[in-house]
Amino acid sequence: MVQNAFPVRVPLVTEPMGLWKSLQTARRNVLAILPEIATRQPMVSGKTGKRWHMVMDPDALQHILRERLPDYPKSDVTKNLLRPAIGESLFIAEGAEWMWQRRTAAPSFSHRNMTALAPVMTAAAERAVQRLAANGPKRAINMFDEMVQTTFEVISDVTFSGDDAFDRDGVHDAINNYINTAGKISLPDMLGMPDWVPRLGRITGDRALTEMQKIADSAIDRRRKSGPPKGAPDLLDLLLAGADPESGRTMSTEELRDNLLTFIVAGHETTALSLSWALYLVAGDQERQDKARAEAQVVLQGRCATGDDVPKLPYIRQIIDEALRLYPPAALVSRTALKDDILCGRQVRRKDTVMIPIYALHRNHLLWDQPDSFVPERFANRKDIPRYAYLPFGDGPRICIGASFALQEAVIILASLLSSFRFTPVSGVSPDPVMILTLRPEGGVWVMSEPLPRVH
Ligand code: HEM
C-alpha cells in the first residue's frame, strides 16, 4: 500500500529502459513498462529483443480486432500463460476451432439467460450486505477480498449450481495459486521461447490445476448422469444442451470443463476488480457516492438490486463504466501479426508483436478530456464515445462473451452496497495498481464501511 494522489495511477516510463530493466520491471508490474507517450500518441513502436507496436488509434484498433481478425491472432505469450489452466477453450482457440465453440456457447449468454441468472447475483449481493453489516458500526474492510468472495459465489453458482460435491474452495485456491505463480510474466514467455523451456511458475502452478480439472470433470460427469437440477438452468446445463448451429457438434467433457473453467477464471476476478476499483473511486469522492446512493435508494427501497432494476440504475452503471476505463482489468492484450501490414501509416512486419495497451488507450489525451480524473458523467451519453476508444471488453468477433453478465452483476452488487453503506477512505492508505494477469489493487482496497439506517 502506498500514499498517492487520487485516483492512483501507474507511473509510466519517461526515459528509455534497457532490456534487462524492462524484464525485471515487467515481472512486478507489466504496465510499468508502458511509455508515457502511449497516453499522448496513436501508436508507439520499438524493439526489445522482438519488434513491437503499441496501438492506441481507434481506426487501427478496429482494423486489428474486427476487419483483419484472422491476421492478428492472440499472441503466444497470452496463450502460454493461460493454456495450463483453461486448455484449448474459447479464450485461446483460433480459426475454425474457436468459431464452433463461440457459436455453441453464445446462446448461453443471451439476454434471456442473463435475466434468468440474475437471482444468483442478487442472492450473492444479499450475503455480502449481511457480512458487511455483521462487522458492526464502522470498520476498515478490504473490499477486494469481499468482492472476490462475492463474485466467486456467483460464478460457481452459475457454473455448477446445486452440486454440493463440487469443491468450491479447492477450485478457488487452485485459481488463486495459479494466478499468483504461473500468471507472473516469466522471462522465457516475454522472450517468446518455445513451450518446452521449463517455467518455474508453471511447474509450481500445475499440481493445483490438475486437481481443479479433476474436480470439474467429476462434477460434469455427475450432471450428465443426473440431468439438470431443479430451477433455472445454469451455464453447465446450457452448455451441455448446446450444439454448434452449423455442424451440430456438441462439447466433450474435456471441452466443457475447459470452457467452464475459462468462465470461472475469466469471469470472477475481473468482475471483482471492477467492483473494488469502483468502491475505491466512490470512497474518494463523497459527492458522487451520495448521488449514486440517492439513485440506488429510490429504486431499491431498502432491498438488494435485481435484474429488473439494472436499467433503472444508469448512474451506478456510469460509475462501473468509469472504473473500467481507469482500471481496465484486462489492461493489456496482445496479438501477433501474421502478415505485413500498415497501421497508422507505419509498417508492421509479419511476426511483430502488436500490443493493445487498454490502460493507455483509456487515458490517451487525444481521445479523452481529463483522462486521469474520475468523471463517471462522461458515460451519460454513450454515443459521444468512439467505440474503439473504450475497450474494457475488447471488441470485434472476439469481444468478451461475458460482458453483459459482468455488467449486470457489477450493477446489482454496487447498487446494493451503496444503498446500505457509506464508504470512506482509510487515511493514508491507497491501493497500488499492479498488473500481473489482471490489473489488481496491490495491498487491497481498504475502506471504512459504515452501515446506514434502512430506507423503506
Ligand atoms: C468486468 C469483467 C470482465 C472483463 C473486464 C473482461 C475482459 C475481457 C477482454 C478484454 C476480453 C478479450 C481479450 C482479447 O481480445 O485478447 C475477454 C474475452 C473473454 N471473456 Fe471476459 N471479461 C470480463 C468478464 C467475463 C465473464 C463474466 C466471463 C464469463 C462468464 C468472461 C469470459 C470471457 C471469454 C470466454 C472470453 C474469450 C472470448 C473469445 O475469444 O471468443 N469474461 N474478456
- The tens digit of pLDDT for each residue in 137-186 reads 999 999 999 999 999 999 988 888 766 667 777 777 887 777 766 655 55
Ligand 1 center from residue 291 Cα (angstroms) = 30
Q: Which of 223, 405, 224, 434 is nearest to 329 (CA)?
A: 434
The whole-number pLDDT of residue 426 equals 96
Domains detected in the chain: 19-451 (1.10.630.10)
Q: How far apart are CA 367 and CA 386, in angstroms?
A: 8
Q: Is the CB of 91 under 6 A from ligand 1?
A: yes
Provide the pLDDT confidence category of residue 372 given band limits of 50, 70 and 90: very high
Given a cut of 50, is residue 54 above it in pLDDT? yes
The whole-number pLDDT of residue 203 equals 45
Can you tell me which residue has the cell 508502458? Answer: 34
Q: Residue 130 to residues 147, 299, 412: CA-CA distances in angstroms?
A: 13, 20, 15
Ligand 1 center from residue 62 Cα (angstroms) = 18
The whole-number pLDDT of residue 200 equals 44
Q: Give the highest mean pLDDT range of 91-100, 234-243, 291-300.
A: 291-300
Q: What percent of the chain has pLDDT over 90?
A: 65
Given a cut of 50, is residue 310 above it in pLDDT? yes
Q: Which of 320, 275, 326, 280 is nearest to 147 (CA)?
A: 275
Please state the ipTM of this predicted complex.
Answer: 0.99
Average model confidence (pLDDT) for the chain?
89
Given a cut of 90, is residue 189 above it in pLDDT? no
Helix (H, G, I), strand (E, B) or coil at 145: helix
Complete DSSP assignment for 376-429: GGGGSSGGGS-GGG--TT--GGGS-TTHHHHHHHHHHHHHHHHHHEEEEEPTT-
The whole-number pLDDT of residue 1 equals 44
CB 73 within 8 A of CB 94: yes
Q: Is the CB of 109 under 6 A from ligand 1?
A: no
Count the residues in the chain.
Answer: 456
Average pLDDT over residues 335-340: 95
Residue located nearest, by CA, to atom 15 of ligand 1: 394
Cis peptide before 194 (omega within 30 of 0): no
Cell of 425: 477512505
Q: What percent of the chain has pLDDT over 70?
A: 91
Q: Would you say 344 is a known binding-site residue?
A: no
Average pLDDT over residues 355-360: 96
Q: How far apart are CA 319 and CA 279, in angstroms?
A: 9
